[in-house]
Structure 1
Amino acid sequence: MFNSKRFLIVLTVSMMVFMSGCSLPGLSGPSRNTIVIGTLGTSESQIMGNMVRLMIEHYTNLKVNTVNNLGSSTVQHQAMMNGDVDITATRYTGTDLAGALGMKPVKEPKKALEIVQREFQERYNQTWFDSYGFANSYAFTVTKELANKEHLRTVSDLEKHAPDLKLGVDNAWLKQKGDGYEGFSQKYGFEFGKTFPMQIGLVYQAAANGKMDVVLAYTTDGRIQSFDLKVLQDDKHFFPPYDTSLVARNEVLEEHPELKGKLQKLSGKIDTETMQSLNYEADGKKKEPSIVAKNFLEKHNYFE
């Protein structure tokens, strides 16, 4: 016998399950006067996420929730598209040019930023803010001792020593098309004597203890300071730019017009060396990213 009441209950529950399946696990979407910020699992992303949170709390009466440890730029982008997250704290031009936009790499930083800002407005109704001022890019790195001994300042300076040098590098980069090892060799015109695939987290220690002569690192990684390493200038501009910005959904900026101007205060305020130091505070000195962010903003009076 047909039970209309039972049918309605089953239908309602089924619809709830279906709707919940449209969003990321653990995210239920922001409420009206609450801003949700998404970050990656890195110290860098969480430091910047906390800066964004603190700026909003300092300048507005809005509530803020943070969703940490989103697994990748792809996950961040999907969370924004679903409306589960209002702001993603760290988006990188080179990453989203290839990923979210499916476009070819652009080597000129200003042009790359212009493209992502235009395309995110047109395709996704999102505002890509001007860069914080730092770029988290690939960088060939050596000990300061080796740099001083061999007068190494740029990547090109490695050429005459390359046959005798050991390169420690993330395995994925060795096989990467375009801006991987093959492309690098063609651009710079030399190869290293030996290459050793490694986990990225191990390259810094390997350089510091002399097991590797050169390692491919990230420019803002705090371990560069921790192990007293020197980043060599990419003088032939081989690597795509990875300038870093926050991205916000336009619906949120329209609903809360006070947000945009306050968040723009962060643009251009944090250069690569400063971000490296902030990451070192978290990764080297083991301070909570929220404390690192708060100390920095208080030092600069929230850029008032």
Structure 2
Amino acid sequence: MTRISRRIKALIGVTAVLAGSLAGCGLDINTALPFKVLPGTIQPMDGLKGLPITVGSKDFTENILLAYMAELGLSAAGADITDMSDIKGSVSARQALIAGQIDITWEYTGTGWINYQGNTDPIPDEREQFEAVKKADAQQYGIDWLQYSPLNNTYAFGTTAAFAEKNNLKTNSDMTAFLKEHPEQGVFCVETEFASRQDGMPGVQKTYGFTPAEIKTFGIGTIYSSIANGTCNFGEIFTTDGRIAGLNLHVLADDKKFFPQYNVAPTLRSQFVKDHPQVRQVLEPIAAAIDNNQMIELGKQVDIEGRDPGEVARDWMVSKGFVKVG
């Protein structure tokens, strides 16, 4: 696989074919929202009453939690929700949005800028990165980004706290120096997509100048446990993942600032936002209320404590006063 952006552009050209096969995108069809909620600070809105809205997500805990938050808020506002969370892969979620198979998905500014827009250089400033990807997506794909969140879930390499302490590893540069002395220790666990993404292994290897001894590919959920149990010494992690705390992992600082900004925001087709502007009033306050520390805790509840993500999202929405339960 080459760059995701090239695959995206090729896939857009066959949208008509893809639209006939939801299963090909890894979507489950017509899944009802599992919880009933009552209005809190999110009140019923005439423009959303009875409106069918399909919410999708990618296939990792944080994005699934965000999807449930959106679904619960929109349900309280009166919309008729279909849940299509847990779509397999960024490409499938993106093409589902473009093709109209889903109406809303939460996306990350770095992913949009590099993997969908095909840029190679990230923009270091959060606001500038957001404005650039927002403008490009509206012009090229008819996709609107609502106001972005302080939640910034970028990539990092993780190792166990014990391994980091033993080898004095605090940064990616420390890791690079260590691997020059001990090249056989360079066993990395990453997901398949990250192994070939421009903002993944190829780019970070070039920036820091290290060569892995071995790259093992797993689903993102398996990588954390693979680091913890010694299957690999280093692994791709997300900086807001609850398993960092739950498995006593150590995050290596990206001291050369390679990884892009990954602030999250709801994305929708531009025409959908134009037709139903009330969705902005529901989703933007939710985006503003969630941050990295809160998401680490919510993710820990799901991935370490084994709670259902829908229940965790519901409890968070209730704690913020957005919705109530009877």
Shorter-chain TM-score bucket reads 0.7 to 0.9
Match of 2:118 in 1: 102
**1:94-148 Cα shifts (integer Å, max 9, x gaps):** 3233443333341425233222111122223332123332233321112223334
Q: Shift of the alpha carbon at 1:287?
A: 1.4
Matched, 1:79 2:96: yes
Closer/same/farther in 2, CA of residues 195 and 273 from structure 1, 3 Å limit:
farther
**1:55-85 Cα shifts (integer Å, max 9, x gaps):** 1223x22222222332333322333233332
After alignment, is 198-207 or 259-268 more displaced?
198-207
Q: Is the 8 A contact 2:188 2:234 kept in 1?
A: yes
How far apart, in 2, do the equivalents of 1:135 and 1:80 lie?
Answer: 22
Matched, 1:216 2:232: no
Q: Shift of the alpha carbon at 1:263?
A: 1.2
Aligned sequence identity (%): 26
Q: What root-mean-square deviation, in Å, do the aligned CA atoms of Structure 1 and Structure 2 show?
A: 3.2
After alignment, is 150-159 or 43-52 more displaced?
150-159
Match of 1:36 in 2: 54
Q: Is the 8 A contact 1:73 1:96 kept in 2?
A: no
Q: Does the residue aligned with 1:301 lie in a helix, a strand or coil?
A: coil
Match of 2:132 in 1: 115
Read off the aligned partner of 1:52 and give its amino acid letter: A
Q: Shift of the alpha carbon at 1:171?
A: 7.0
**1:210-265 Cα shifts (integer Å, max 9, x gaps):** 45333232223332222110111111011233322210223333333322122110
Q: Is the 8 A contact 2:19 2:101 kept in 1?
A: no
Matched, 1:138 2:158: no
Closer/same/farther in 2, CA of residues 226 and 76 from structure 1, 3 Å limit:
same
After alignment, is 248-257 or 40-49 more displaced?
248-257
Matched, 1:61 2:78: yes
How far apart, in 2, do the equivalents of 1:242 and 1:168 lie?
Answer: 22
Closer/same/farther in 2, CA of residues 303 and 161 from structure 1, 3 Å limit:
farther
Q: 1:266 aligns with which of 255, 275, 286?
A: 286
Matched, 1:257 2:277: yes
Q: Is the 8 A contact 2:186 2:211 kept in 1?
A: no
Which runs of 5 or more structure 2 residues have no equivalent in the other structure? 1-15, 23-27, 31-48
Rg comparison, structure with higher value? 1
Q: Is the 8 A contact 1:141 1:215 kept in 2?
A: yes
Which runs of 5 or more structure 1 residues have no equivalent in the other structure? 1-18
Q: Is the 8 A contact 1:159 1:190 kept in 2?
A: yes
Q: Does the residue aligned with 2:81 lie in a helix, a strand or coil?
A: strand
Read off the aligned partner of 1:197 and give its amino acid letter: K
How far apart, in 1, do the equivalents of 2:274 and 2:238 lie?
Answer: 36
Read off the aligned partner of 2:109 and give its amino acid letter: T
* TM-score after normalising by structure 2: 0.74
What is the count of residue pairs matched by the alignment? 282
How far apart, in 2, do the equivalents of 1:42 and 1:170 lie?
Answer: 14
Closer/same/farther in 2, CA of residues 224 and 255 from structure 1, 3 Å limit:
same
